Structure 1
């Protein structure tokens, strides 16, 4: 479980395709690897990956074909920056919202509009996720916990403050770039519970 508060901008060192539908990713992140052990979870652009090993500030993780197909990890290259977050520790503050690191879909940036002290960024909204996205609700974009400002039928907008722009990969993304989305898991549980009621 994560909070969506990015701890560090990491860098892809290598992405090695496996013999079958898989890859091994190596990521440099001195902060998140400072206490990482085999089996720990680290969020990479919102994808929960399991640490295989950790050597000199670089951790490696296996990435299944399912993850490569359903996320934007497959388009990363050596030198790409990524958002990194270690799993939340019990007893610490929950600064964002409950984030699983299970990507629900990929969107693209469709507009960036500078404002006075922030920037309005608009993303496409995959139709199958639209019912889970509400104004003033939480959404995770590339592992960043954000508040939805506005929702239309096929897009949503967030207000990006300077800290988010500076400390995450979202600041350097351009129109047309893909991003990973994770909707609020509570909405999915509520839908399932209500759908199972005999009304």
Structure 2
């Protein structure tokens, strides 16, 4: 479990490609290394990955091809920075919202506008996932807990305060880039239950009316 509060942007010091996927090596800070063990879960740019190796401050993760196809991790190369969040403890304060690091889909950035007082990002989500996103609703974008500001069909707008912009990788993105989207799980369950209920009830009402 994660909170969507990015703890640091850390550099990729190596990316190794192999037939089944890729190995990412990230340089952690001493604080991020505290109590970290092989097999621990870490949120990397919104994706839940398991630690597969540790050497000094260098931590490695493996991402299989299925993960690379579903997420934007395939766009990253050596020298890039990524959002990092360690998994949350039950006693930790949750300043964002509960996220799992299971990416639902990738969206395409339509517009990025950065100013001194913050930033605006506008992105388009595939139709199948747009139904789970609402104005003022929670959304995890590249592992960052954010609130949706505006909705227009499957086009969504989010405003970023300067601190969020400073603490994340959003300033590294440009129009046309893919971004990782994790919809709020409770919202997804509620929408699916309502859809199933309506699909069962409405045919019965139509039949009764006839």
TM-score (norm 1): 0.93
Q: SS where residue 132 of structure 1 aligns?
A: coil
Counterpart residue number, 2:206: none
Report the alpha carbon displacement of residue 23 of structure 1 after superposing the two structures with TM. 1.7
Which has more radius of gyration? 2
- Mapped to 2, the partners of 1:80 and 1:115 lie a distance apart of 22
- Mapped to 1, the partners of 2:14 and 2:116 lie a distance apart of 39
- How many correspondences in the alignment? 198
Q: SS where residue 107 of structure 1 aligns?
A: strand
Task: Confirm or deny: 8 A CA contact 1:47 1:101 kept in the other structure.
Answer: yes
Counterpart residue number, 1:84: 84
Unaligned runs of 5+ in 2: 202-210
Larger deviation, residues 49-58 vs 186-195: 186-195
- Mapped to 1, the partners of 2:162 and 2:152 lie a distance apart of 25
- Judging changes above 3 Å, is the alpha-carbon distance between structure 1 residues 44 and 116 closer, same or farther for their aligned structure 2 residues? closer
Q: SS where residue 100 of structure 2 aligns?
A: coil
Q: SS where residue 110 of structure 2 aligns?
A: strand
Task: Confirm or deny: 8 A CA contact 1:136 1:149 kept in the other structure.
Answer: yes
TM-score (norm 2): 0.88
Task: Confirm or deny: 8 A CA contact 2:47 2:143 kept in the other structure.
Answer: yes
Counterpart residue number, 1:51: 51
Task: Confirm or deny: 8 A CA contact 2:116 2:162 kept in the other structure.
Answer: no
Larger deviation, residues 147-156 vs 20-29: 20-29
Unaligned runs of 5+ in 1: none
Task: Please state if 1:27 is matched with 2:15.
Answer: no
